[in-house]
Amino acid sequence: MAAHHHNPFAIDDSDLHTNPFADPAIADALDTPAGRPEYQHYSAAAPAREEQLRKREAELAERERELRQQQEDLRRQGVHPPNWPPFYPLVHHDIDVAIAEDKRPAVRRLYQYWLAACGLLVLNMATLLIIMFSHPDNMNFIPGDFGVALVYVFFMSTASFATWYFPAYLGFKNNSSLYSYIFLLFHGFHILFLCYMAVGIPGSGSAGLITVLAVFGGGRPIAGVFAAIVFAGWVLSAMYSIVLWKTVRDFTLRSGLTLENARNEAVSAGIRSGVAQEAARQGYTRSTTGHNLTAVAHIAGSDADRAQAEAIQAEWAAAGLPNTHIKTYFPLLNRPVSRSLTLLAPERFEATLREPAVDGDDTSRDEEVVPTFLGYSPSGNVTAELVYANFGSQADFAALAARGIDVRGKIVLVRYGSAFRGHKVRAAELAGAAAVLIYSDPAEDGFVRGPVYPDGPWRPPLAVQRGTIQYPFYEGDPLTPFVAATENATRLPQSEAPSLPKIPALPISYGEAKPFLAALKGHGVAAHTIANDWQGGLDIEYWTGPAGKAHLFIDNEFAVKPIWNTMAVIEGTSEPDRAIVIGSHRDAWVYGALDPSSSAAVVIEIGRVLGKMHKRGWRPDRTIVIATWDGEEYGLLGSTEWVEDHVEILNKTAVAYINLDGAVSGPNFEASASPALANLVRKATKEVKDPQTGRRVYKRWNRRAGVDTPEGRVPRVQPLGSGSDYTPFLQHVGIAAVDMRFTGDYGVYHSNYDSFNWMAKFGDPTWKYHEALTLIVGRVLLPLAHDRVLPIDFVPYVHELRTYAKDVAAALGGASMPVEWAGRLDASIDVFEKAARKLRKEADQLRRDDADEDDAVVDAIDGRNDGLDAGVSVLAVQGGSDDGLAGIMPQQHPKHPKHSKHPKHPKDPKHRAVNDKLGFGERGFIDMAGIPGREWYRHVVYAPGEWSGYGAEMFPAIHESIRRGDSAGTDKIIASVAATLRCAAGMLAA
């Protein structure tokens, strides 16, 4: 028996409000020796498949176009497609176009069998009628046996398509294990019924066709001939059924359509049914616990925020989700006490700093529910001239300085866009400004883009974008970098916290920014003379100033306050010490229908549905941790403090983090991820239909954002920078992470108008994209939790790393540094590529071996192998739940309800070794020394840009050194990063 893997995620009731991972048994394992071995590996490149894939895609598209054109031509001519064979258009079009070429023969065989079965049924029906009426005595025999035969004929003629051909057809069309196994299950029942029709059921008094043949063959030769024909039909049907069952089973296994994947699809279908059209809506408005995500403002640390956390915990617990608890942290927060903004000259204008009510949006009526302010802005009282500084970047301030415009001591007016708002304030602070006003220009998200709310999705004139301006030297609580902000944690003095701004800042609307901009006209230089993008979207000419005079007063109260993460832990059965974390933040600047409730609703519903499934006996093979984070809007507080609190345990257990944030605002799917998870996301989108087009999400995504790679044209998966809760997982610990969303026109970001009414009118009026996203998330989460070999692949990393190395070479050349230094990166990437491809081969071989072993599991479905391992799952059809959670779901083996693992799950040493390399390979990119000056960020490949904030910068330490002009330092950093890449290769090749 394989050794038991201890679960560090297991908790007891006494521990729910302290450390949810507390476990004395792992205390000795936390102090691991530092250092990582280096390995060598080879380079290989095989881009030939790209052209092959392109040709195949072009052939399919052309074939589909021709077929559709033929059908259209026939329709216009009044000629309809032939009616025979039945469903001709379906077979002719979908098999030749929609079914992959290697699967077409099997699907055609299924169709041919269905036609043959229907033909035999018609023949048998006619024969039975002849027998019945050939002699009066024959009628007396019908109720006992032929009656059953007639019922069977009726059943076969009406249900064979639905239960045999169609599920298998869908299985091969959609590459769906679930449909294929439904076919095999029903087909097994069909074979058993054929056997019953031949011999009857012993002891039941049922004669069966053999007995009927003997009875009629004795004294009635004509009837006997017909009876023989009937019997021959049944025999042929039975033989063909057995042959076909074996053919489909073998083909299913060879195609990788395993029972394990069927189980994942079943659970995913359960998740989808929990967040169907109405359930997605209920995710915002559920009343079962008084929980309503968007009914009240719930800024971090507020009473409403805590009430929401407690309601979610109660809802999860009631649904059956185990180990639910609230984890409390105590970060620094600020709230506005008072603020005012007045233009004193050339004309007086008093800004209202309010967002007025909008007709039809009830929640907008409370204009001061959360006053307009910026997180972590200090208090201030400034009277000074105004200067317009465009987006407020370092380059913008340099452009002003080059034109003799001095911003020192001035109130600087900048607009949102281009970079994180905190960098705007920091750049102004470094330039000597006294205060900053940040406004949303209509060119970015207002009337220039389209109709404004409530007539359209864009920002109305008096809408204000709140947000944090914490400087991103590190994430989380400003006073406790690197350690969790527990109640009794040691804290920095507020004046010494490097991430806190030193000058006051306030957000305003473009409607109230206009008088301040107009006061600058004719002073300084015309903005468009600096660059075209300095002119915004208001109907005035933008000038730089300095000019006019304004008074800004801000009184912000700072205090250490509690925030509340809602958590649940579903312990894995096979590998409880390996975990997948999924989360979304819950706090909002005001009501937050899109940000964050569209994502929180999905996570809450997933937790609720998994809880109901847990009640019914389902267990994941690996541990799943579900979270709704608090305090994200201030600076990723809840997630960062939790990660810092459990960094050692996460380092030893977590294999992936799935993040959702502002998840649904339109129909355009986007994903950002570690390249190791990119193919998993792409595969998930191939299995989900786009609600608008009816085609696969993948296809629409690829058309809009496709890029050419050595493995073909695929949708672009963006790199992860910062701005959401994946940051501490990926960039501090080195846990592969993914963030997914559907995007669209959205102009009410962080305003009072990001409301349920906005979502219902513009974001997702049908709630179908919430459903689609939930299904995609399920098809990412469940393979990570269940697949015997983790669905992680480091080969896509190679292409990305080579692209980033080229960017380094270009930057070196632009800075007059030796371009050949980048060659050290190329050499290390060659080593990494060899290790990644070798690991892919090992993983693929294990998957093929596992598919072969699934023969025994398939036998279990047919009821022919009672001696299987106790952990084998069987499929069962369930339904009738109170929330519409009905569908095919995994059911535990009745003799062993506590287990749901395959006979050879990852406890097997080979699986364990490969999975550890796949699950922990991202750790290889971690340099514990961190980026110089920003040591909290430890990932050598990805970090938020030094001056962009949310956007990712690749090989950040190298580029920052190049920008500083530090030639010697750049040389050393490149050598260090190259060594880290070799270490990462070593972890994959170990």
Quote the Cα angle for 373-374-379, to 5°: 80
| φ, ψ (nearest 5 deg) of residue 767 | 65, 10
Question: 828-852 burial by CB neighbour count: b if 16+ within 10 A, else e?
Answer: bbbbbbbbbbbbbebbeebbeebbe
Residue (of 814, 344, 838) closest to 550 by Cα position: 344
Distance CA 264, CA 787 (A): 8
Residue 714: Cβ-neighbour burial (10 angstroms; 0-12, 13-18, 19+)? buried
Q: What is the DSSP string of 148-167?
A: HHHHHHHHHHHHHIIIIIHH
Sign of CA dihedral 924, 928, 932, 938: positive
Both tokens assigned to 423:
């960098």
Distance CA 509, CA 353 (A): 8
Quote the Cα angle for 642-645-647, to 5°: 100
C-alpha separations of 195 from 34, 120, 192, 224, 226 in Å: 66, 16, 5, 20, 20
Name every residue whose Cβ is closer than 8 Å to that of residue 886 and which is 6 or more positions away in sequence: 273, 878, 879, 880
Distance CA 297, CA 317 (A): 24
**Residue labelled with tokens 């580029």:** 959
In one letter, which amino acid is 234? W
**Residue labelled with tokens 């009731």:** 13
Catalytic-labelled residue, pool 260, 315, 475, 632: 632
Distance CA 138, CA 116 (A): 28
C-alpha separations of 300 from 377, 669, 758 in Å: 16, 29, 22
Distance CA 103, CA 516 (A): 67
Whether 632 is a known active-site residue: answer: yes
Count of positions (residues) in the chain: 990
Helix axes 208-219, 177-199, angle to 10 degrees: 40
Residue (of 805, 837, 822, 839) closest to 916 by Cα position: 839
> Is the bond preceding residue 346 a cis peptide, omega within 30 degrees?
yes
Residue (of 519, 477, 601) closest to 348 by Cα position: 519
Sign of CA dihedral 613, 615, 616, 620: positive
Catalytic residues: 632
